[in-house]
Amino acid sequence: MSEKRHLHHRVEYGRAELLEKQAGADPIALFGHWLDDAIADGLPEPHAMAMASMGTLTISCRIVLLRAFDREGFVFYTNHNSRKAMDIERDPRVALTFFWGAHERQVRIEGKAEQVSAQESDSYFASRPRDSRIGAWSSDQSRPVADRAALEERYQRWTDRFKEGDEVPRPLHWGGYRVRPARIEFWQGRPSRLHDRLAYEALSDGQWLRVRLQP
Write down the H helix ranges in the chain.
20-23, 27-40, 83-90, 118-127, 130-138, 148-161
- Longest distance between any two alpha carbons in the chain, whole Å: 60
Q: Is the pLDDT of residue 2 over 80?
A: no
Residue 97 DSSP one-character state: E
Domain 20-129+172-212 maps to which CATH number in 3.40.190.10, 3.40.50.720, 2.30.110.10, 2.60.120.10? 2.30.110.10
Of residues 3 and 172, the one with the higher pLDDT is: 172
193 has catalytic annotation: yes
**pLDDT tier, 1 (very low <50, low <70, confident <90, very high otherwise):** low
Enumerate residues 6+ apart whose C-beta is below 8 A from 181. Answer: 27, 73, 74, 109, 110, 111, 202
Mean pLDDT of the chain: 95
Band the pLDDT of 63: cuts 50, 70, 90: very high
Q: What angle do CA 50, 55, 61 make, to 5 degrees?
A: 15
Q: What is the bridge-based pairing of β-strands 196-202 and 208-212?
A: antiparallel
Q: Assess contact for 126 and 138: CB atoms under 8 A.
A: no
Considering the candidates 62, 71, 161, 193, report the single residue annotated as catalytic: 193
- Percentage of the chain modeled with pLDDT above 90: 80
pLDDT score, position 151:
86
pLDDT at 8 over 90: no
pLDDT at 150: 86
Q: What is the pLDDT of residues 154-208, one digit of tens each?
A: 889 988 888 887 899 999 999 999 999 999 999 999 999 999 999 999 999 999 9
Please, are residues 186 and 29 in contact by the beta-carbon 8 Å criterion?
no
Q: What is the pLDDT of residue 57?
A: 86
Amino acid at 63: I
* φ and ψ at residue 193, rounded to 5 degrees: 65, 20
Name the DSSP letter for residue 199. E
* Res 30 pLDDT > 70: yes
Cα-trace Rg, the chain? 20
What is the reported pLDDT for 141?
A: 82
User: Among 62-66, 68-72, 152-156, 190-194, whose mean pLDDT is lowest?
Assistant: 152-156
What's the half-sphere exposure (Cβ side, CA atoms, 13 Å) at 22? Answer: 12
Examine the pLDDT at 58 and tell me if it is beyond 80.
Answer: yes
Distance CA 41, CA 37 (A): 6
**pLDDT cut 70: percent of the chain above it:** 100
Residue 117's SS3 state is coil
146 CB-contact burial (10 Å; exposed 0-12 / middle 13-18 / buried 19+): exposed
